[in-house]
Chains A and B, each alone.
Chain A
Amino acid sequence: MVKAKLKPLEEIFGMIRSYKKILTLSCGGCVSVCMAGGQREGMELTLELVEFFRQNRLDAEFTHYTMERQCNPEYLFDAEEIVREADCVISTACGAGVQYIAESHPSKPVFPALNTLFIGIDRDVGLYEERCRTCGDCKLGYTGGICPITRCSKSILNGPCGGTHFSDGSCEIDREIPCAWNDIFERLKSQGRLENILTVHPPSIWMDQAQRTMVQYGFEERYRKKE
């Protein structure tokens, strides 16, 4: 799922300090799972902002509301009125959610409370690891299920580069980061699939050069562009 983390309070404060009626809009989707922007986090953020405003001798009225999901039209309805009543919205959704709220309320300033970081796995409660960069040309088939785009610091397809530490197989940039290609080699070797990386893999077909819209298989007819 999408993983995100709260921006520094000062930065959020800087965006909203001139407004008088401020709505914190939480999202019950991915950002609540990674505990960055769910109901509880939204309420805590609101509380901190109330305190921040008080310390700066600014007067504003704060409201908090949680939408089930900020990236889907069906769930917009519940927050329509509360958004309309506010001078500005500080959304604790991911980048997609923030944009969707902004698009749905074009006259309303909508600000992000989070930095959206990556698509990752839940290693533990509050501990997440990036696993996918949505490059659009998945390599996992020949890399033993280890993503070289995401996990290799240089995103190389014919690794490992010369930067793997000899003593512990860590990446040149950080001893804490294991070399993805060292792991790929070990896994493929253990599965008897080393031939997967003995040939030169061609350059990636990058699919993230422009904004993507996807029509799922089976829905082509429904979304066919009118001639």
Chain B
Amino acid sequence: MKAGSNFEKVLAAGHFAVTGELGPPQSNNIEVVKKKAGFLKGNIDAVNITDNQTSIVKMSSIAAAAICIQQGLEPVFQMTCRDRNRIAMQSDIFGASALGCLNMLCLSGDHPNFGNQKTSKKVFDIDSIQLIALAKRLRDERKLLDQEKQFNSELKLFIGGAGNPFSRPFEFRALRLAKKVMAGADFVQTQCVYDMERFRDWMKAVRDLGLHEKCYILAGVAPLRSADMAAYMAANVPGIVIPDGIMKRMNSVPKDKAGEEGIKISIELIEEIRQVEGIKGIHLMAIEWEHRAGEIIERAGLLPRPKVE
């Protein structure tokens, strides 16, 4: 056990894991976090707390993660390389750990150009793979970056990274995942999967490198809410590939039925994903749709969530 979190225990026990996602509010409103946590609690094994996603200022991921712990929901706090240098990163990891956060996801972070602070100075002192290595060093060696002196407390952390099967160069994506595993990633959550064929190809490359045995891989699933959303994501969000078949299905139903169709597609995708060798769970990104997450997970036959000790 690296951290002994519920999430890690579920995976270690061989259960098919389910993680969710919670986007903190664009304010200091604790009630929003509590409400979203309430929808997710009991339906998932842990919840990812996004770190100023798309570079839009939101409540701190660590603060929201701490609130989730108070609500009885285990968080995976996300940390991007966009806003912190290595001083702040190590400091925040200490802080998150002190607040009881046991799972961490290391990300590059969206470029500031996307958000509401476009003219800010981007940091990117280190990158996501270096952040994984840094977190592992803190945990396993109890040493700060470039420092030999050990700190004298235990730091438990289940460290994750992101995997992207749908970006160029396709050939390098599995190799880059290998770099994350080499750096110390214990688990990996992938970008949203819609294109099963390409996903299977990527997983084959991942298995050929033996990565599925060195880390837990969770496939990303995001229910489509409308045909417009699908078209927008396919055209603008990097790493999202939506096959024609799914686009057609989204377009063929009336607007008020599109959400239901999106959920059906997600459930089918989860079914297919479960058949892929080496996949240990799903990461459900029901963005601003936290109240429907439970229903999707239930209909996918993934409830109740296992209790592990």
Contacts and interface: CB of A to CB of B under 8 A. Distances in A.
Report whether chain A binds chain B: yes
Interface of A: 153-166, 169, 172-174, 179, 182, 185-186, 189, 198-204, 206
B272 interface: no
Contacts, number: 103
Nearest to A159: B127
A158 B176 contact: yes
Contacts of A153: 111, 113
B238 A154 contact: no
B117 to A, nearest CB: 14
B124 interface: yes
Contacts of A186: 169
Given A172-B238, A200-B179, A160 B169 contact: yes
B168 A169 contact: yes
Interface residues of B, number: 39
Contacts of A174: 113
A60 to B, nearest CB: 33
A164 B179 contact: no
Contacts of B128: 156, 158, 161
Given A163-B167, A172-B114, A203-B125, 16 more contacts: A154-B124, A154-B127, A158-B129, A158-B130, A158-B179, A159-B127, A163-B110, A166-B241, A169-B169, A174-B113, A179-B168, A198-B175, A199-B179, A200-B179, A203-B130, A203-B145
A186 B238 CA distance: 19
Contacts of A198: 175, 178-179
Given A172-B110, A200-B183, A162 B124 contact: no
Nearest to B237: A172
25 contacts: A155-B122, A155-B124, A156-B81, A157-B127, A158-B179, A161-B108, A161-B127, A164-B167, A165-B168, A166-B168, A166-B170, A172-B111, A173-B114, A179-B168, A185-B169, A186-B169, A200-B130, A200-B179, A200-B183, A201-B130, A203-B86, A203-B130, A203-B134, A203-B145, A204-B125
A169 B167 CA distance: 8
Interface string B218-262: 000000000000000000001101000000000000000000000
B133 interface: yes
Contact of B133 (A156, A189, A200, A204): A200
Interface string B178-200: 11001100000001000000000
A interface, over-half SS: loop
A-B pairs with lowest CB-CB distance, top 5: A156-B127, A162-B164, A158-B129, A161-B108, A164-B167
A160 B134 CA distance: 19
Contacts of A157: 127, 130
A153 B124 CA distance: 10
Contact of A200 (B125, B162, B182): B182
User: Most A CB atoms within 10 A — which of B82, B125, B169?
Assistant: B169
A187 B113 CA distance: 27
B239 A185 contact: no
Contacts of A206: 125
Contacts of A185: 169, 171-172
Nearest to B184: A200
A198 B178 CA distance: 8
Nearest to B175: A198
Contacts of B168: 160, 164-166, 169, 179, 182
